[in-house]
Amino acid sequence: MSSKYIYLLLSTSFIISCKNKETVEIKPVVQDIQEWVFAPGQIEWDDSYNLTAQTDGILLDANYDIGTVLKKGSIIATIDNQSNVINTNTASDQLVIANENLSANAPALQQLKQNISFAEAKYQQDKLQADRYERLQKTESIAKVEYENAKLAADNALSNLNALKKQYDLLLQQAKQQKIVTKGQLKNNQVVQSYNKITVINDGTIIKKFKSTGDYVRKGDIIATVANPNKLEIVLTIDESSIHRVKIGQETKIQLNTDKTKTYTGKVNEILTAFDNASQSFVCKILLTDTLPATSNIFATPLEGNILVGEKKNALLIPREYMGYGNKVLLKGQDTALIIKTGIVSTDYVEVLEGITANDILAPIKP
């Protein structure tokens, strides 16, 4: 079926004056007429998103189906990736060690504290000895070299004490840095582990399902598509020859392929200016004024649309087979065809704007 059809709705049939099969007079008739453009399409959602796998593994507990209503934050499935769990547990254990290295009972810090205490005591002892030798040297009770040796010992003890204090500060700083790094690794691994859970971002309804329990998924695979069912829209594809007839606000009739006994009414809400290469057509969006049934079988179903692109009252119409090439019409009793000016033209009927009247009798165009 072509992507464009023109439907003409007439209030009555053509008037055919006839007494019998030998006497048939076809005249133009004045009737109301409507022109419709046919367009296939489907239901889409203006507010939808994909639930995507963020890690590799086997999909578990995927207990959902098309039409399932979801709440924000709910988990619809998990991915079995044990390496993410192991990495998180390892980082957690390392953080425990990092905290212990900063505590008062940390072995390395305790050892340095003891060394500092010993160095502090030695310095005090050496300084006391140097002060005493200084007094003795002033009274020339000892040789100058003995005082200098005592002073050198005190200076060395002070340098050793200061070096130990700096070593303690450096070790404490390294322990703090290690804690920061380990804590960051834990948080990062917790985020990666959270990728094992397929979590709903916003309230919505599943409209497409791509993966099921037991499927192996890779990072980037789409698990399902979720949409807000209150923001659905009808998307129709219009071919190039008909798009110029479609305007915003035009009445549209929609039939779902799942139930063609019902017709839903809407209006053209948006016409996309860009040509869609995938469908090789133009796209327009329909805003429904009727409500679709709240059942799961409408999700992703194809449909048919008819857009009312023209409507005229009291139009002069003739059968399409009575107009030849170049808009030529032959009247009864004449050998030369007339050229008429046409309005709406379909496969069945032609609207005549100029050239003949309702009183003229038509004759078949000779091939």
CATH number of the domain residue 338 falls in: 2.40.30.170
Is residue 277 in some structural domain?
yes
Is residue 1 in some structural domain?
no
Q: Report the domain count for the chain.
A: 3
8 A C-beta contact, residue 224 and residue 76: yes
Please give the residue range of the domain that contains residue 31.
6-45+230-363
Q: What is the mean pLDDT of residues 63-81?
A: 89
pLDDT at position 222 is: 94
* Cβ count within 10 A of residue 37: 26
pLDDT at position 295 is: 59
Structure tokens at 150: 């005592």
Tell me, yes or no, whether 103 and 161 share the same domain.
Answer: yes
Q: What is the mean pLDDT of residues 167-186?
A: 89
Q: What's the CA gap between 151 and 16, in Å, rounded? A: 136
Tell me, yes or no, whether 336 and 304 share the same domain.
Answer: yes
* Cβ count within 10 A of residue 265: 12
pLDDT at position 5 is: 41
- Secondary structure class of 266 (helix, strand, coil): strand
Question: Whole-model pTM?
Answer: 0.54
**Closest by CA position to 222, among listed 230, 210, 240:** 210
Model confidence at 367, in pLDDT bands (50, 70, 90)? Answer: low
% of the chain beyond a pLDDT of 70: 91
Is residue 154 in some structural domain?
yes
Tell me, yes or no, whether 222 and 247 share the same domain.
Answer: no
8 A C-beta contact, residue 26 and residue 14: yes
Residue 156 pLDDT greater than 80, yes or no: yes
Tell me, yes or no, whether 63 and 101 share the same domain.
Answer: no
**Closest by CA position to 301, among listed 261, 254, 259, 257:** 257
pLDDT at position 162 is: 94
Tell me, yes or no, whether 283 and 183 share the same domain.
Answer: no
pLDDT at position 303 is: 92
pLDDT at position 233 is: 82
Tell me, yes or no, whether 120 and 103 share the same domain.
Answer: yes
The domain boundary residue, chosen from 172, 194, 216: 194
Model confidence at 54, in pLDDT bands (50, 70, 90)? Answer: very high
Residue 56 pLDDT greater than 60, yes or no: yes
The CATH number of whichever domain residue 223 belongs to comes to 2.40.50.100
Tell me, yes or no, whether 255 and 323 share the same domain.
Answer: yes
Residue 14 pLDDT greater than 50, yes or no: no
Q: What is the mean pLDDT of residues 185-206?
A: 88
pLDDT at position 34 is: 83
Q: What is the mean pLDDT of residues 189-197?
A: 87
Tell me, yes or no, whether 266 and 316 share the same domain.
Answer: yes
Residue 11 pLDDT greater than 80, yes or no: no
Tell me, yes or no, whether 241 and 349 share the same domain.
Answer: yes
Q: What's the CA gap between 215 and 212, in Å, rounded? A: 6
Is residue 166 in some structural domain?
yes
The domain boundary residue, chosen from 170, 194, 218: 194
Q: What is the mean pLDDT of residues 339-360?
A: 88
Tell me, yes or no, whether 139 and 213 share the same domain.
Answer: no
Q: Return mean pLDDT, the chain.
A: 85
Tell me, yes or no, whether 237 and 133 share the same domain.
Answer: no
State pLDDT tens for residues 95-151: 888 888 888 788 888 888 899 999 999 999 999 998 998 888 888 888 889 888 989
Model confidence at 192, in pLDDT bands (50, 70, 90)? Answer: confident
Tell me, yes or no, whether 352 and 241 share the same domain.
Answer: yes
